[in-house]
């Protein structure tokens, strides 16, 4: 295939993709993201009732505040107290006695095991 | 509701969307006023946003519950980033409503993309500054309506699998890019859902686009012979 023909095919493909994007918006398979797309979307809006979770605006905002105030606090195995203690000791150049290190590692394994159990429990059918 | 609140609610009902967003952006100084403005803004747009998101994302986000999460998150982002709305040059309430709803659509779209990428129902992290810049300015020009009507018929003629692939891949469509690309994690997830491979997804997309092209050629030929 010549370069000229290939370029023409690529241009045609791009034109079809562009039209496909418009068609998907018209079908409602993409949300209206331009003012021009909102107009027909408003005209064809189905009269579907809101689910209970969206019915009360004030409750929704309050719930969001509660959820998000704690959403960044996630305990992962890599940031447990044991791990942090080990890191701190390493940073400060301190020596950790073997029995302490052994105990810390045992604690860490135990914590990771609990995390695994929790995760598997959540995913269980 | 107290008399003051009722009075405030009546006043807000007559304010424009830009005004409401302005009140929300002052939440640090007047949290009660900001929340009242948000409630009025929510009342105006929630049914619209839920309906368009249910149509666009219902099959991709697990139905009504997933879409309700998306809508709730979208309105929460509006409350937190109300100052990013750009109403410059608009005073007509209808035009403001269209711009507001287009903005809501872009926020919902970006949230849905993130949710699809994270394989979670909804992301919990806030977007960075660059994201909010792009969400307020992004615009995709409209296509020719006659052509897109024929493309729409072509898409509806595809089989279900091809429709899902087209529907998902076009969530990441960028008109300025020559080669469209689906994020790897989304491709892997979609391939697993369809019991196929990411490489096969590319084949399915290619085949679907070829069918659309052939449909267009055939329908153009039929139009010429009439």
**Across residues B163-187, what is the average pLDDT?**
82
3-class DSSP assignment, residue B134:
helix
Show the DSSP H helices in chain B as ranges.
3-13, 17-24, 31-57, 64-80, 93-118, 129-137, 145-156, 160-169, 184-193, 198-225
ipTM associated with this complex: 0.71
Residue B125 pLDDT exceeds 70: no
Who wins on pLDDT, B9 or B106? B106
- Min CA distance, A97 vs chain B (Å)? 40
Share of chain A above pLDDT 90, in %: 9
**Ramachandran region, residue B197 (left: φ > 0; alpha: ψ -120 to 50; beta: rest):** beta
Chain A residues touching B156 at Cβ < 8 A: 27
Name the residue with higher pLDDT: A74 or B52. B52
pLDDT value at residue B100: 96
What is the structure's pLDDT at A2? 73
Confidence of residue B11 (pLDDT cuts 50, 70, 90): confident
Give the domain ranges of chain A. 9-45, 77-123
Of A13, A31, A42, the CB nearest to B209: A13
**Which domains are assigned to chain B?**
3-137 (no CATH), 145-225 (1.10.10.10)
The answer to whether the Cα torsion of A88, A89, A90, A92 is positive or negative is positive
Reported residue count of chain A is 125
B50 touching chain A per CB within 8 A: yes
Q: Which residues, 6+ apart, have CB-to-CB distance to A101 below 8 Å? A: A86
Residues of A in contact with B108 (CB under 8 A): 31
Position A125 confidence tier, pLDDT thresholds 50, 70, 90: very low
Predicted confidence at residue B5, as pLDDT, reads 52
Q: Which of B102, B167, B179 to mutate to test the interface with A (most CBs of A within 10 A)?
A: B102
B52, B151, B209: residue with CB nearest A31: B52
Instruction: Give the model confidence (pLDDT) of A35-94 as tens digits.
Output: 999 999 999 877 678 999 998 887 887 776 555 433 332 222 333 344 444 444 444 455
Tokens representing B163 are: 């429709």
- The pLDDT of residue B74: 94
Q: What is the distance in angstroms between the Cα of B193 and the nearest Cα belonging to chain A?
A: 17
A54, B185 contact by CB (below 8 A): no
Q: What is the mean pLDDT of residues A16-35?
A: 85
Between A22, A34, A57, which is nearest B102 by CB?
A34
Taking the Cβ of residue A55 and every Cβ of chain B, the question of whether any pair is shorter than 8 Å is answered with: no
Q: Which of A58-62, B51-55, B185-189 has the highest mean pLDDT?
A: B51-55
Residue A43 forms contact with B (CB below 8 Å): no
pLDDT on residue B146: 66
Inter-chain contact A31–B53, Cβ cutoff 8 Å? yes
């Amino acid at each position: 295939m010549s370069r000229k023909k290939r370029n023409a095919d690529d241009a045609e493909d791009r034109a079809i993709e562009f039209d496909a994007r418009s068609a998907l918006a018209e079908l409602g398979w993409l949300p209206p993201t331009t003012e021009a797309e909102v107009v027909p979307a408003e005209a064809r809006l189905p009269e579907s009732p809101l689910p209970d979770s969206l019915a009360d605006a004030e409750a929704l905002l309050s719930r969001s505040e509660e959820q998000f105030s704690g959403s960044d606090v996630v305990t992962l195995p890599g940031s447990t107290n044991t791990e942090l203690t080990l890191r701190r000791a390493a940073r400060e150049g301190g020596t950790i006695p073997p029995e302490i290190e052994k105990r810390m590692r045992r604690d860490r394994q135990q914590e990771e095991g609990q995390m695994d159990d929790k995760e598997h429990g959540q995913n269980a059918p | 509701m107290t008399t003051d609140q009722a009075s405030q609610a009546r006043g807000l009902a007559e304010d424009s969307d830009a005004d409401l967003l302005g009140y929300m952006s002052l939440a640090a100084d007047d949290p009660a006023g900001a929340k009242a403005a948000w409630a009025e803004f929510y009342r105006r747009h929630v049914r619209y946003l839920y309906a368009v998101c249910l149509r666009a994302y219902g099959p991709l986000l697990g139905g009504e519950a997933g879409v309700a999460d998306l809508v709730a998150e979208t309105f929460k982002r509006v409350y937190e980033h109300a100052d990013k709305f750009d109403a410059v040059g608009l005073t007509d309430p209808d035009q403001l409503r269209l711009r507001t709803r287009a903005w809501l659509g872009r926020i919902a779209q970006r949230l849905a993309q993130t949710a699809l990428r994270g394989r979670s129902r909804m992301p919990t992290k806030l977007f960075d500054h660059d994201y909010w810049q792009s969400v307020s300015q992004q615009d995709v020009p409209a296509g020719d309506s006659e052509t897109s009507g024929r493309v729409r018929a072509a898409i509806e003629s595809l089989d279900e699998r091809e429709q899902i692939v087209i529907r998902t891949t076009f969530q990441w469509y960028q008109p300025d890019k020559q080669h469209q690309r689906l994020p790897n994690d989304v491709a892997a997830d979609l391939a697993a859902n369809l019991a196929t491979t990411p490489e096969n997804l590319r084949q399915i997309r290619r085949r679907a686009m070829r069918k659309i092209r052939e449909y267009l050629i055939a329908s153009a030929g039929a139009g010429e012979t009439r």
